[in-house]
Chain A
Amino acid sequence: MKKALRIIAAAMLILSSALISGCYDIVELDTISIVTGLGIDKADENGKVQLTVQVGKADAVGGGGQEGGEASEKAYQNLDSVDRNIVGALDKLLQDNSRTLFLHHNQVVIFGESHAKEGISDDIDALMRDLHSHLNVFVLISETNTSEIFNVEMELEKIPSVGITRMMRNKTEISEAFRVKMLELISKLSDDPCTAVLPIIKQVKEQDTTRLSIQGLAVIKDGKMVGKLTEDQAKGYAWALGKIKSGYLPVNTDKGTVELSIKPPSREMKVSFDKEGIPKIKIGIKARFIIGQIIGFDGLQLEEIIEMIQKESVNAVKDIIISCFKETQRLNADIFRFGCYLNKHHNKKWKKIKDKWDQIYPNLELELTVETQIIDTGKTSKSPKMVGGRLA
C-alpha cells in the first residue's frame, strides 16, 4: 500500500514538472520577433530620437523548401518609431506590434552620425540596463540615417544587420581596432580621459546598386562624436596600439613598389616625465612583414630590394601613425588612451596633470621607433621575371 502511494506520488511529481513548468515565462517562437539590429538616430522633431529596429523573419530565412514564389520576399522587416528616447520608442513599438520584441539576439547597434554628435551616453545607459540586451554587440556609427543602412540589401546575406556583423568580423580580422563591442565602449566611456572610437559604416553607391562599407573611425569624446579618422588614419591607430593583425602595406621607393603583407607586430610603450611632470610618450613597434608583391625593381638583387624596402617601410609605418596622431591632437581626443595608461602605471604623476590633460595632449611629444623585419618572401623566393637572381 505504502509502496503504491510512493509510486503514485513520484509519477505525479514527474508529470507536474513536465506539465506545469514555465507557465509564466513562456516564450513561444511565434509570439516574438527577433531583433537583429538597432539603429538610433536624431529625429526630425526637435529633441526626439528615432529608433529603427530590424527584425528577422524566421520562416523566410529558414524557408529553403519552397523555391520560386517566395524569392522576392524580404527576410527582414524594419520598424521605425520616434519618441522622447529609446526606451520610449521601444515601448511605442511594443504597443503597436502584434509580437513582442526579443532583444536577446541583437547583433549590432548603430548610431546615426548626427545623433552621435549630440551624445550617446544616455542611450548606452538604457541599452545596458535592459535585461535582455547583450554587451557583446558591435557598435557602429553610420554616416547616413540608420534606417537607410538597414535597408541596403546584400547579395549573400538575407538580413542586413547579420551581414553587418559578418562584415565587422572580417574587418576585425585585419585590424583589431575596429572591434568595439558594447562592453569596451562602456568601459572606455567610464574611464578618464573619456575617449573611444567607433567604426563608421557608410553606403557606397555604384551604378545601380548600393553596398555597405566599413571605413574609418569616429572619435568619441565625453560621450559625443567629435571627429573622424580616415581609413588610413584608422590603420595608423591600429599600428600605434599594435592591434593590426593582417592586411597590406604598400611601400614606394624610387625603383618600384612592394606590397608587404602585415604580420601582427609587437609594441611597447614607455613614458618619461620632464621636470614639470609633463609626460613624453615613447612607443616602440617591431613590425614583421612577408613580401606580397614586387612591382618594378629592374635589375636588382633580392637582398638589395629587401634592404631598400626595410628602410622605406619604417617610414611608411611612421607616416601613417603620425598622421593619425596629429589628427587626434587636432581634435584633442586622446584615443590612444595615453592618459589611461598614465593613470594605470604612473598613478601619482597622472593625478597631478589630470586636470590639465586637455591642454597637454595637443602638444604631447611622441617618440616613435619602428623596427621592421621582412621575415619571408612568400611561397616563392624569386619572381618569374628573375633570371639568375636578378629581375629581368
Chain B
Amino acid sequence: MTIENSRISAGQFMFSIACFLHSSSLLTSFFVIITRNESWMPFVASIIICIPLIVSYVLLSKSYPGMNLIQINEAVFGRVAGKIVSALYVWFFFTLTSLNIRDLGTFVNKTTMVKTPISIIIILFLLLCVWSSYYGLEVVTRYSIVFLIISCVILFISIIAVYDLIELDNFLPMFDMPLNNYVQVSHIASTIPFGETVIFLMVTPYVDNAPKNLMRYFLGGFLLGSILILIVILRDISVLGNTIQYFSLPSFEVFRLGTLFQTISHMEIMFSILLIVLLYFKISVLFYVTMLAIAQLLNIRSYRPILLPCAALVVVYAFTAFKDVITHTKTAQETTPFFWTLFEILLPVLTLIVSFVKKKAKNKNNRKAVSK
C-alpha cells in the first residue's frame, strides 16, 4: 500500500532540498546574536560537520529502498518500538511546521503588515499549503526551482544594491570570542537549518531512480542550499558589521539600506517577497511530510481526509508553542538544538547502526544456514 503515488525527478528533489534550506536564511538572527560578525565561521564548520550526517541519511534510505522514514523505523525497531519512534517523529514534524508558520506570521507582522491580525495571515497561508498538499508531493515540490531562481535573483540584486556599503573590515577581528560561542552556533546551525533535511527521508522513496542517484542529489541540494545561506550571512555581516547583533531580522535591515542609482531604495518589499515565497515552500513541504507521516503511522489509505483537521491543529499549536518572540529566540538558542539533535542526529544514526548490525547478523545466519 502506498499513500503517495506521484513521483518526482531527482533534479526536483535536489532543488527542493536547496530551496528548503535557503528559506532558513531568514532565521539567521538566532545565531548572529551570539557570534556577531564571526558567525560565518561556525556556519562553515557546521556545513562540514553536516556532510557525514547527510551521507548517513542517504545510507539509511539506501539500505531500505522504497521505504520512507516511518516504514524504516518499523522495519528496524520492530512493530511496537518502531511505532513509538515514529510517533516521536510525527511530533517533531508537527512542531517544525507550527514553529515555521508562527515565524512566518511574526515576520510578516513585523515587516509589512503591522496591523493585520497574525491569525489571518497564518490561516490563509496554511490553507494554501493544505491546497498544495492535497495534490501530493509532485505539486508541492514542483515550483522549487522557480522559487530558488527568484530568490537567487533577489539575492543578486540585493548584493548589487548594497555593494557601496560592503566593508571587508567588518569581518575582523577573527577568533575574538570564547570557544563556547562557536560551538553553540555550530550546534544551532547544524540542527536548525541543516538537520531539518531529515524530513526528506520521508520522500526519498518517491524519487525517480532513487537508490542510485540519491547520494549525489541529496548532497548536491544540501551544498547548494547551505552555500546560498552562507552568501546571505556574508552579505549581512559585510554590510552591518558589528551592528548585526542588534537586529532581529538582519537581512531585512540590509534590504532597507539597499539603493540602486539613488532612485530605487526602500527595497524591503523584495525581502517580503522572498520571505513569503520561501516560507511558503518550506511550510508546504513540512506540512505535506507531516501528513504523510501521520497517515503512514496510523495506516490510513490516504492522508487527504486529515488535511484540514491537522491544519487546524497546526494553527492552534503555532499560537501556543511559545508566548513571545523573546522566548522563541531564547529557546531556539538554548533548548531546541538539543531536542532536535535527538531527531536529526541520534535517532537516524542509531537506526543506521541497528540496521547494519541486524544485516550482519542475518548474513551470518544465512551463511550458517548455507554451510549447514
Q: How far apart sit A234 and B175, CA to CA, in the bound complex (Å)? A: 35
Contact across chains for A347 and B259 when beta carbons are under 8 A apart? no
Q: Which residues of B contact A191 (CB under 8 A)?
A: 242
Contact across chains for B265 and A136 when beta carbons are under 8 A apart? yes
Contact across chains for A135 and B113 when beta carbons are under 8 A apart? no
Residues of chain B in range 256-275 having any CB-CB distance to chain A below 8 Å: 256-257, 259, 265-266
A-B contact count (CB 8 A): 49
Q: How far apart sit A355 and B103, CA to CA, in the bound complex (Å)? A: 42
Contact across chains for A25 and B114 when beta carbons are under 8 A apart? yes
Contact across chains for A128 and B246 when beta carbons are under 8 A apart? yes
Contact across chains for A25 and B265 when beta carbons are under 8 A apart? no
> Most chain-A CB neighbours within 10 Å: which of B241, B242, B243, B265?
B243
Q: Does A343 sit at the interface, judged by CB under 8 A?
A: yes
Chain A residues within 8 Å of chain B by Cβ, number? 18
Q: Which residues of A contact B241 (CB under 8 A)?
A: 187
Cβ of B276 to closest chain A Cβ, rounded Å: 14
Q: Which residues of A contact B320 (CB under 8 A)?
A: none
In the complex where A344-B169, A345-B172, A347-B173 touch, is A134 in contact with B256 (Cβ < 8 A)? yes
Residues of chain B in range 215-268 having any CB-CB distance to chain A below 8 Å: 240-243, 246, 253, 256-257, 259, 265-266
Residues of chain B in range 158-187 having any CB-CB distance to chain A below 8 Å: 165, 169, 172-176
> Most chain-B CB neighbours within 10 Å: which of A131, A135, A191, A343?
A135
Residue A25 contacts which of B116, B165, B173, B253 (CB distance < 8 angstroms)? Answer: B116
Contact across chains for B117 and A344 when beta carbons are under 8 A apart? no
Q: How far apart sit A24 and B265, CA to CA, in the bound complex (Å)? A: 25
Cβ of A130 to closest chain B Cβ, rounded Å: 12
Q: How far apart sit A131 and B173, CA to CA, in the bound complex (Å)? A: 30
Q: Does A183 sit at the interface, judged by CB under 8 A?
A: yes
Contact across chains for B243 and A25 when beta carbons are under 8 A apart? no
Cβ of A184 to closest chain B Cβ, rounded Å: 9
In the complex where A183-B240, A187-B242, A347-B176 touch, is A135 in contact with B256 (Cβ < 8 A)? yes
Q: Which residues of B contact A343 (CB under 8 A)?
A: 172-173
* Contact pattern, A 336-356, Cβ under 8 Å of B = 1, otherwise 0: 000000011101000000000
Contact across chains for A24 and B173 when beta carbons are under 8 A apart? no
In the complex where A25-B114, A187-B241 touch, is A135 in contact with B169 (Cβ < 8 A)? no
Residue B115 contacts which of A25, A104, A187, A345 (CB distance < 8 angstroms)? Answer: A25
Residues of chain A in range 190-244 having any CB-CB distance to chain B below 8 Å: 190-191
Q: Which residues of A contact B257 (CB under 8 A)?
A: 135-136, 183
Q: How far apart sit A344 and B167, CA to CA, in the bound complex (Å)? A: 13
Q: Which residues of A contact B243 (CB under 8 A)?
A: 183, 186-187, 190
Contact across chains for B110 and A131 when beta carbons are under 8 A apart? yes
In the complex where A24-B116, A25-B115, A25-B116 touch, is A136 in contact with B242 (Cβ < 8 A)? no
Cβ of B279 to closest chain A Cβ, rounded Å: 19
Contact across chains for A136 and B259 when beta carbons are under 8 A apart? yes
Cβ of A47 to closest chain B Cβ, rounded Å: 26
Q: Does B112 sit at the interface, judged by CB under 8 A?
A: yes
Q: Which residues of A contact B169 (CB under 8 A)?
A: 344
> Most chain-A CB neighbours within 10 Å: which of B165, B173, B174, B240?
B173
Q: How far apart sit A23 and B256, CA to CA, in the bound complex (Å)? A: 24
Contact across chains for B246 and A186 when beta carbons are under 8 A apart? yes
Contact across chains for B253 and A135 when beta carbons are under 8 A apart? yes
**Which B residue's beta carbon lies closest to that of A23?**
B116
Q: Which residues of B contact A347 (CB under 8 A)?
A: 173-176
Q: How far apart sit A320 and B115, CA to CA, in the bound complex (Å)? A: 54
Q: Which residues of A contact B265 (CB under 8 A)?
A: 136
In the complex where A128-B246, A347-B173 touch, is A136 in contact with B256 (Cβ < 8 A)? yes
Contact across chains for A131 and B114 when beta carbons are under 8 A apart? yes
Q: How far apart sit A338 and B228, CA to CA, in the bound complex (Å)? A: 35
**Which B residue's beta carbon lies closest to that of A341?**
B169
Contact across chains for B242 and A25 when beta carbons are under 8 A apart? no
Residue B242 contacts which of A23, A131, A135, A190 (CB distance < 8 angstroms)? Answer: A190
Q: How far apart sit A187 and B246, CA to CA, in the bound complex (Å)? A: 10
Cβ of B38 to closest chain A Cβ, rounded Å: 12
Residue B113 contacts which of A24, A187, A190 (CB distance < 8 angstroms)? Answer: A24
Cβ of B169 to closest chain A Cβ, rounded Å: 6
Q: How far apart sit A122 and B175, CA to CA, in the bound complex (Å)? A: 30
Q: How far apart sit A372 and B242, CA to CA, in the bound complex (Å)? A: 35
Cβ of A339 to closest chain B Cβ, rounded Å: 12
Q: How far apart sit A86 and B134, CA to CA, in the bound complex (Å)? A: 52
Q: Which residues of A contact B116 (CB under 8 A)?
A: 23-25
Q: Which residues of A contact B114 (CB under 8 A)?
A: 25, 131
Cβ of B124 to closest chain A Cβ, rounded Å: 11
Contact across chains for B172 and A344 when beta carbons are under 8 A apart? yes
**Which A residue's beta carbon lies closest to that of B176?**
A347
**Which B residue's beta carbon lies closest to that of A344?**
B172
Q: How far apart sit A25 and B243, CA to CA, in the bound complex (Å)? A: 29
Q: Which residues of B contact A344 (CB under 8 A)?
A: 169, 172-173
**Which A residue's beta carbon lies closest to that of B110?**
A131
Q: How far apart sit A190 and B170, CA to CA, in the bound complex (Å)? A: 13
**Which A residue's beta carbon lies closest to that of B111?**
A131
Contact across chains for A24 and B110 when beta carbons are under 8 A apart? no
Q: Which residues of B contact A131 (CB under 8 A)?
A: 110, 114
Q: Which residues of A contact B117 (CB under 8 A)?
A: 24
Q: How far apart sit A135 and B289, CA to CA, in the bound complex (Å)? A: 41
Cβ of A173 to closest chain B Cβ, rounded Å: 13
Cβ of A128 to closest chain B Cβ, rounded Å: 7
**Which A residue's beta carbon lies closest to that of B245?**
A190
* Contact pattern, B 262-301, Cβ under 8 Å of A = 1, otherwise 0: 0001100000000000000000000000000000000000
Cβ of B191 to closest chain A Cβ, rounded Å: 29
**Which A residue's beta carbon lies closest to that of B171?**
A344
Chain B residues engaging chain A, CB cutoff 8 angstroms = 110, 112-117, 120, 165, 169, 172-176, 240-243, 246, 253, 256-257, 259, 265-266
Chain A residues engaging chain B, CB cutoff 8 angstroms = 23-25, 104, 128, 131, 134-136, 183, 186-187, 190-191, 343-345, 347
What 7 A-B pairs are tightest by C-beta distance, nearest first? Answer: A344-B172, A24-B116, A24-B115, A347-B173, A25-B113, A187-B243, A344-B173
28 A–B contacts, CB within 8 A, in A order: A23-B116, A24-B113, A24-B115, A24-B117, A25-B113, A25-B114, A25-B115, A25-B116, A104-B266, A131-B110, A131-B114, A134-B256, A135-B253, A135-B257, A136-B256, A136-B259, A136-B265, A186-B243, A186-B246, A187-B242, A187-B243, A190-B243, A190-B246, A191-B242, A343-B173, A344-B173, A347-B174, A347-B176
Since A187-B241, A187-B243, A191-B242 are in contact, a sample of 16 more A-B pairs with Cβ atoms closer than 8 Å, ordered by chain A residue number, is: A24-B113, A24-B117, A24-B120, A25-B115, A135-B253, A135-B257, A136-B256, A183-B240, A186-B243, A186-B246, A190-B246, A343-B172, A343-B173, A344-B169, A344-B173, A347-B176
